[in-house]
Chains A and B, each alone.
Chain A
């Protein structure tokens, strides 16, 4: 085994972690966050919501199942940097096609290993997510810190144009003629979302985020899906969503889509101290009292309104789901005349990776779209 180059991880507040190069050798900047998922690193790496973020895995042993050709959530690795405690020396899984480190190196993703990720996680939990840099070419902490401090913060970042599809494309229903058509606005969509819809006979037309109301409605969708994605929701243009709400088209949103729906309804969003990233977050469905264990990946959230329900120009908005760890808003519902016309969740029912507790939300989408016919 070749000897690894020394590498450093420098946080915005000056804390330095020493380790060794992992993946590509180089230098990278981003927002340092941690993910608590013990499995699913391939989905994490390829999730566009992690764009411009340096992800530290709290699980200490990463890479043991290698990389396969089926689990990517997009066409490339999106994380800006990857921090692991101990990389697996071999990949051992029947689906594995190559090692994780080779994949990271091929895609030019700079990482660091041998870092005390527990100390790093505690640091980020107590002081909040912050900008960071990894370098395995220049291990002078002062020089890297200067670059970190000069990099743009995540709050106020509009990253939609970086991740959205340039051309519209269609994901066909899993079998037979489509039962329903859903127009998906791509703010950084994960592949598993159209897949979950396809299983229910939905044809998904994925559209660029810059689409106009007319372009979306020209698809004659039964419902519109607002996807997950990276960046600060406060920077996004809401005219499309407001136009769609006016048109009466049923809307379903996930993650960033939930934040945008909230903002379009006049609710505020804010940056969480260290966010929710992992696959075992408990969420309460306020309507049924049922608790789901869910996959999360969000650094921003909708601010809970003071009243249980809020009257908006489009109907009555209310918080449908909350996180049991910290009472953060995890879902919204918009009703008009006692009928649900839009709903969204902050977490990831498509669960890639993660538990399938929230899969029923796609059935609710079918009900919503059919009910609007």
Chain B
């Protein structure tokens, strides 16, 4: 589950700057090209909110590195969450699957923070209601640990060991005023 506590009081520290995030996205794009041997059958699906612009950025980087057009879209997982009944109603995000669908494609799920793994579990269920991918991989900007399910990422921008009491915020220009990864709370 992703924490987005932008207004959390207490100390905070910027762990990744604007330039760092640029480099990290570049590297993940390179790794996708290498691990999927040219990314020719890859479809990128971002998990709203911030996974969507990350998927767009990755597709753009892959195009600039190798001239490969990677289809990309968004996959909303809200209705597949296991905590729907525990919390109040939430707005649904957009789901847009690229033309051609996901059957037989190497789908890479893209999210900003990997934490408990429950969001990814929901994404897998959402995905299998749409089609049958050849393979599913996971790319995240930050892995902060504390998994509650047997899930791991194939591409990690940065591993940030955290305490449960801390909060990790990913800010992206498309949704926030700047690019940054900020750690709030805990004993800084």
Contact = CB atoms under 8 A, between A and B. Distances in A.
Interface in A113-156: 116, 118-119, 122, 126
Question: Looking at chain A's contact residues, is the secondary structure mostly helix, strand, loop, or mixed?
Answer: helix
Contacts of A122: 30, 33-34, 66
B65 interface: yes
Interface of B: 26-27, 30, 33-34, 38, 65-66
A122 B34 CA distance: 8
A119 B34 CA distance: 10
A314 B27 CA distance: 53
Contacts of A118: 27, 30
A119 B66 CA distance: 8
Contacts of B65: 116, 119
Nearest to A116: B65
Contacts of B38: 126
Contacts of A116: 26, 65
Contacts of B30: 118-119, 122
Given A118-B30, A119-B65, A122-B33, 9 more contacts: A116-B26, A116-B65, A118-B27, A119-B30, A119-B66, A122-B30, A122-B34, A122-B66, A126-B38
B42 to A, nearest CB: 15
A33 to B, nearest CB: 19
Nearest to B31: A118
12 contacts: A116-B26, A116-B65, A118-B27, A118-B30, A119-B30, A119-B65, A119-B66, A122-B30, A122-B33, A122-B34, A122-B66, A126-B38
Interface residues of A, number: 5
Q: Say what secondary structure dominates the interface of chain B.
A: helix
B62 to A, nearest CB: 10
Nearest to A15: B67
Nearest to B34: A122
A122 B39 CA distance: 13
Contacts of A119: 30, 65-66
Interface string A93-116: 000000000000000000000001
A5 B4 CA distance: 44
Contacts of B34: 122
A274 to B, nearest CB: 14
Interface in A279-299: none
Nearest to A126: B38
Interface in A182-215: none
Nearest to A119: B65
A137 B34 CA distance: 33
B52 to A, nearest CB: 25
A125 to B, nearest CB: 9
A16 to B, nearest CB: 12
B23 to A, nearest CB: 10
B61 to A, nearest CB: 10
B68 to A, nearest CB: 12
B90 to A, nearest CB: 40
B20 to A, nearest CB: 14
A118 B33 CA distance: 11
Nearest to B65: A119
A119 B33 CA distance: 9
Nearest to A118: B30
Nearest to B38: A126
Query: What are the 10 tightest A-B residue pairs by CB atom distance, in nearest-first order?
Result: A119-B65, A118-B30, A122-B34, A122-B33, A119-B30, A116-B65, A119-B66, A122-B30, A126-B38, A122-B66
Interface in A208-238: none
Contacts of A126: 38
Nearest to B33: A122
B31 to A, nearest CB: 9
